[in-house]
């Protein structure tokens, strides 16, 4: 039985971005629909929506008002719409008046490690659940250790990583690489190191895009093309 055309998808995202989990769930559906046509390998990459955020975080409504100028009513309406979209893709997104936004750098260090251990997507999903469903801080070391253990990673290694600065340089270098490639928003999906898809599109849109890329050839690239930001951005919001 054929496995389909090899396809590498690098996903640039943050664990506190609702569009990142919505987009991923839609991408997941598209990949399922293309079963047998493409053989997809996923890798997750760091993007910090709030790199200067303190460890205590900030009330989400206050943050949205400061960053985007939305009124409390506009913010509430936006959260309701996002929750409904989460329900439509089968992922419960819960907001409340006490919801907070957090710094996620340590979460990205853990995800980098999880990638080396073959558990990256599992940990990413665990952190999405912790933040959007349990209201937990994805930068908290206890939360990160528990999530790592939940997906079968060593809690002892998790503590060792979190207590030091292991993988900090790698995460910073990764962020710089994608920034230089012209990626400034999330979610962004880089297919075969050449084609950028931005935003949380419906499954059928992802399906069409991936089918078109598959027709163009099966070459995959472990890194980004030097001229990717001058190449083809096939979809954007």
Q: Which CATH number fits domain 5-235: 3.40.50.150, 3.10.20.600, 3.40.50.10490, 3.40.30.10?
A: 3.40.30.10
The β-bridge relationship of strands 5-13 and 100-101 is unpaired
**Residues 166-192, mean pLDDT to the nearest whole number:** 97
| Residue 91, CA distances (Å) to 82, 107, 125, 140 in order | 11, 20, 10, 22
Residue 226 has pLDDT above 50, yes or no: no
Conformation bin of residue 183: beta by default, left when phi > 0, alpha when psi is -120 to 50: beta
Q: Quickly state the pLDDT bin for 220 (edges 50, 70, 90).
A: low
Q: Using CA atoms, how far apart are residues 22 and 26, in angstroms rounded to an integer?
A: 6
Question: 117-131: per-residue pLDDT in tens?
Answer: 999 999 999 999 999
Q: What is the mean pLDDT of residues 89-100?
A: 96
Region 154-166: what's the mean pLDDT? Answer: 98
Chain segment 61-84, per-residue pLDDT in tens: 999 999 999 998 999 999 999 999
Confidence band, pLDDT 50/70/90 cuts, at residue 233: very low
* Widest pairwise Cα distance in the chain: 55
Q: Has this prediction a pTM greater than 0.85?
A: yes
- Could you tell me how far CA 75 lies from the centroid of its own chain? 22
Following CA atoms 96, 92, 137, 68 in sequence, which dihedral angle do they give, to the nearest 10 degrees?
-60
* Closest C-alpha to 132, from 31, 236, 25, 206: 25
Residue 35 per-residue DSSP state: B
* 82: nearest Cα among 200, 197, 188, 186: 200
Q: Residue 204's pLDDT is what?
A: 98
**pLDDT of 199-216, one tens digit each?**
999 999 999 999 999 998
What are the extents of the domains in the chain?
Answer: 5-235
| 221 — pLDDT class (breaks 50, 70, 90) | low
Helix axes 141-150, 155-163, angle to 10 degrees: 150
Q: How confident is the model at residue 156 (pLDDT cuts 50, 70, 90)?
A: very high
Are the C-beta atoms of residues 43 and 115 closer than 8 Å to each other? yes
State the sign of the Cα–Cα–Cα–Cα dihedral 84, 121, 156, 170: negative
């Amino acid at each position: 039985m054929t496995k389909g055309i090899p396809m590498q998808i690098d996903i640039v995202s943050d664990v506190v971005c609702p569009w990142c989990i919505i987009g991923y769930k839609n991408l997941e559906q598209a990949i399922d629909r293309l079963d047998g046509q493409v053989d997809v390998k996923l890798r997750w990459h760091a993007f910090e929506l709030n790199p200067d955020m303190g460890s205590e975080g900030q009330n989400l409504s206050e943050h949205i008002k400061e960053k985007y100028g939305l009124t409390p009513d506009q913010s509430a309406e936006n959260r309701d719409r996002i929750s409904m979209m989460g329900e439509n893709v089968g992922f419960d997104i819960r907001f409340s008046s006490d919801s907070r936004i957090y710094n996620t750098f340590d979460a990205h260090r853990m995800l980098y490690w999880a990638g080396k251990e073959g558990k990256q997507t599992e940990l990413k999903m665990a952190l999405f659940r912790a933040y959007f469903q349990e209201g937990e801080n994805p930068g908290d070391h206890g939360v990160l250790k528990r999530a790592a253990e939940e997906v079968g990673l060593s809690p002892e290694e998790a503590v060792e990583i979190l207590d030091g600065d292991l993988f900090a340089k790698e995460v910073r270098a990764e962020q710089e690489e994608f920034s230089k490639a012209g990626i400034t928003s999330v979610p962004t999906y880089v297919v075969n190191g050449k084609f950028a898809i931005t935003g949380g599109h419906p499954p059928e849109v992802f399906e069409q895009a991936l089918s078109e890329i598959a027709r163009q050839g099966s070459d995959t690239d472990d890194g980004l093309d030097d001229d990717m930001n001058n190449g083809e951005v096939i979809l954007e919001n």
